[in-house]
Amino acid sequence: MRVPRRSRACVFWRFRPSLVKRIQTFHAFVTLVPNHPLEHLWNLGGYWTPHERTRSLSAEEVGAILAESNDYRLVEAKTGAELRWYQRGDYGVWYHYADRRMRKGVGRPGELAYVASEWIDPDTGDRAILPSTRAMPYMTEVYYLGPQDVAREAQFTAVAEAAGGRLDFREGPSADSAAICLTYDFEALTQAESVAEKLRRSGVHVEGPSDYGP
């Protein structure tokens, strides 16, 4: 049976690998940084990298790391823009822009400000520092003594998510402390307050709520 002209064109587009590759590349090129903490990084091709977030960093900690090492790569994550990778040892964006913005503590809840975190590839040891902008949510920190209790942490998270919060980061235990800290972010102060009050009534140690602003 003869294939109509339009159908043959569709078959042609479907099986041209070069065109598919261009479409994939174009799609990756317009991938933008979302307005919430990143759970993974991606390269210029749009593919996830194996880097894992290890810890949050203050401006002072970032400055100390970069002053001692040229092995880190800066990966700038500006909300609404493309993820930008800099060459290893190229720290200009930090010293001339991100550092001042982060130390100044710009932004109030609902506005944009800088935060920083460290990411490491567990296979190669490749290290990156991620200066990023995002809306300034309120945070509540939940503490308990180790060892890790997965079921208990799931209960904390369920309470936070029911109020519209999300788990931002988890730290501990470490060689210096048996304490485990879970940080939850909220878009509204009332959300953070309700979760903090509910957890405190159940005997949990809670710090906050507070915001990332000045």
Does residue 64 share a domain with residue 118?
yes
Mean pLDDT of 132-153: 86
- What is the structure's pLDDT at 6? 39
Does residue 148 share a domain with residue 118?
no
Which residue, 135, 160, 179, sits at the end of a domain?
135
Number of domains making up the chain = 2
More confident residue, 72 or 175: 72
Domain membership flag for residue 164 = yes
Q: Band the pLDDT of 97: cuts 50, 70, 90.
A: confident
The edge-to-edge listing of strands for the beta sheet with 138-145 is 166-171, 179-186, 138-145, 205-211
Give the whole-angstrom CA distance, residue 9 versus residue 19: 13
Q: Band the pLDDT of 118: cuts 50, 70, 90.
A: very high
Does residue 143 share a domain with residue 201?
yes
Give the whole-angstrom CA distance, residue 37 versus residue 167: 10
- What is the structure's pLDDT at 16? 37
Does residue 113 share a domain with residue 124?
yes
For residue 183, what is the domain's CATH number?
3.30.70.260
Give the whole-angstrom CA distance, residue 72 versus residue 84: 14
Q: What is the dihedral of CA 53, 54, 56, 62, to 10 degrees?
A: -100
pLDDT tens profile 177-199 = 899 999 988 877 888 999 999 99
Which residue, 84, 114, 135, sits at the end of a domain?
135
Amino acid at 170: R
Question: Could you tell me the pTM of the whole model?
Answer: 0.53
Does residue 90 share a domain with residue 146?
no
